[in-house]
Structure formats: C-alpha cells, structure tokens
Amino acid sequence: MHAGALSQLLPPVVGVISGRLTTPPRRWLVVWCLLLVANGAISLALGLHKVNNLWVGYVFMPMTGAVALWALSLWHEPGTAQLALRLAIPLFVAVSAALTLRVEDAHAFSLVAAPFHGLVLLIAAIWTFILRSLGETTTLLRRDWFWAVAGLMLYAGTSAALEPVAWYLVSAARMDLLFLAINAKAGSDIVAFAVITWGVLCPVPPKSSGGSSSPPSSPWGSSSAPLASRW
C-alpha cells in the first residue's frame, strides 16, 4: 500500500532528474501527481494519529480531476476536443462538490462522488487516446501521450471501482477483503505510474507539434499503412 502511494512520486522525480518536463502536458501531469501525493501524505498523517482521514479524498477529488482534465486537453490541438475538455472542468468541479455535500458522508468511503470522478477521467482519457491514435502517422510507442494517457486510464478505472467496493466491504465487516482490495489497487497504481513515468522519459516531441502532434485533416492520417503498423 505504501509502495503504491510512493509510486505517485515517480513521474515528478524522474521528470526533474531527466530534464524532460519541457512541455505543458508533462508539467501539468506532474502537478496532478503532486496533488495525489499531498492527498496521500495528509491522509497518512491523520491516520497515524487515529483521526478519520476519508474526508481528505473528497477535498482533493475536484482539484485532481480538474488538473487531469486540463493536462489531457493539452494533448489536443486547439479545436473542438480541447475546448470540450476545458469546458467540462467547471461542470466537473460543480457536480463533484454537489455530490459530496448533498449525497456523501465525508467520513465514509464514497458511493457516488469517487465513481463519478473516476469515470469522468476514464472517459476523457479514452477519448483522448482514441483521437490521438487515429491522428498519428508514426509509431505510437514513441509518443509521451500514449504512455501517459494509458497510465491515466488504468488509474482512473481502478479508482472508480475501489471506493464503492470498499464501502460495501466495510458495511459487511469484511476487513480482510477490504485490505486485499486496497492492496490490489496499490499494485495497479504502481503499474499505472510506472507507465506514466515511461511516457515522461519519451523523447520530447518536435516543437512544430506544440503540446501534441498535430493530427491530419483525415482521421486516418495521410499514411496508407494500416493502423496496426503504427504500434
């Protein structure tokens, strides 16, 4: 569980050491990681003092979600997709706050707000992944967004599932299964942030592509090669 939390530091530390935090999407992705680290650190400090710490996640959810959506928007060229992600941020924050204040018990695991948070990020990441994949004419494995967005999808998907499962296990007094679920989530987080870190280590894209590679006018690109040949 502690290893899973520490894995969130991998992208910032490796990015600073390698000197490859030179593009806006990478820098905002690091901000997202640091917010997650702050969330974990505060929760750990409260937990060590036997103080309920579940409310901390409710406070950080709107912030981490907004930063993640902004980072994803930077991997799109200016246009409809980028604008849609940015317009979704205030709506996301408002709905997250409303669910927390009106539906949730801030001292218990989340039944609605956390799944909403995770699903929004998952959908946004999948959408970004598909649009960028269709727009690429070179190998995807050399693109930072490919690894970063893949890691974000893994993190968001498991986050959406964990809290309602944890709520049920607590209500059923199955603490053994709760710890198993939390550790399984920690294991997936280690993989997710290792994948994101690999994306940070990818070569910096050419300056002409901006924060991301510019997609061609046709969704299938200018290359006649099949999609699989770009992997």
pLDDT at position 44, please?
87
Structure confidence by residue, pLDDT tens digits, 84-140 = 999 999 999 999 999 999 998 888 888 899 999 999 999 999 999 999 998 777 788
- Categorize the per-residue pLDDT at 207 as very low, low, confident or very high, splitting at 50, 70 and 90: low
**In-domain check, residue 226:** no
pLDDT at position 81, please?
92
Higher-pLDDT residue of 74 and 209 is 74
Query: Can you say whether residue 57 is alpha, beta or left, with left for phi > 0 and alpha for psi between -120 and 50 degrees?
Result: alpha
Query: Of 39-43, 77-81, 115-119, 209-213, which gets the smallest average pLDDT?
Result: 209-213
pLDDT at position 210, please?
38
pLDDT at position 105, please?
87
- The mean pLDDT of 23-38, rounded to a whole number, is 95
Structure confidence by residue, pLDDT tens digits, 151-169 = 999 999 999 988 889 888 9
**In-domain check, residue 212:** no
**In-domain check, residue 178:** yes
Yes or no: say if 134 and 220 are a contact pair by the CB < 8 Å rule.
yes
pLDDT over 70 (residue 30): yes
Structure confidence by residue, pLDDT tens digits, 54-83 = 899 999 999 999 999 999 999 998 999 999
**In-domain check, residue 135:** yes
- The mean pLDDT of 197-212, rounded to a whole number, is 70
Structure confidence by residue, pLDDT tens digits, 166-177 = 888 988 888 889
pLDDT at position 97, please?
92
pLDDT over 60 (residue 225): no
**In-domain check, residue 121:** yes
**In-domain check, residue 13:** yes
**In-domain check, residue 216:** no
Could you tell me the two tokens for 134?
A: 């269709």
pLDDT over 90 (residue 34): yes
**In-domain check, residue 10:** yes
- Categorize the per-residue pLDDT at 206 as very low, low, confident or very high, splitting at 50, 70 and 90: low
Q: How many domains does one find in the chain?
A: 1
- Enter the pTM of the model: 0.83
Range of the domain at 39: 2-205
